[in-house]
Amino acid sequence: MDEKTMVNDVLSSVKSSLSSYEMAITESANMQLRQTFQQIRNSDESFQYELFKVAQAKGYYKPAQTASTTEIQTVKTELQQ
């Protein structure tokens, strides 16, 4: 398995984990458990962003084209209705 595949696989796994932590946080009635999930999520988000920067720098990941100001405003308007 090459480096690009491994990096993208880890990014995908962390993204999935983040979704799971978010669900666990919103469903936790126990404040201590909730805070633990939040700490783990925050740590994973930081890790994901650092790995994303490496992947982007090496050309393994190309983000979508930046939205124009008009496109951003259109989405904001639609979501506020």
- Check if the beta carbon of residue 4 is closer than 8 Å to that of residue 56: no
Could you list the pLDDT tens digit for every one of the 81 residues in the chain? 899 999 999 999 999 999 999 999 999 999 999 999 999 999 999 999 999 999 999 998 877 888 999 999 999 999 998
Predicted TM-score (pTM) of this structure:
0.72
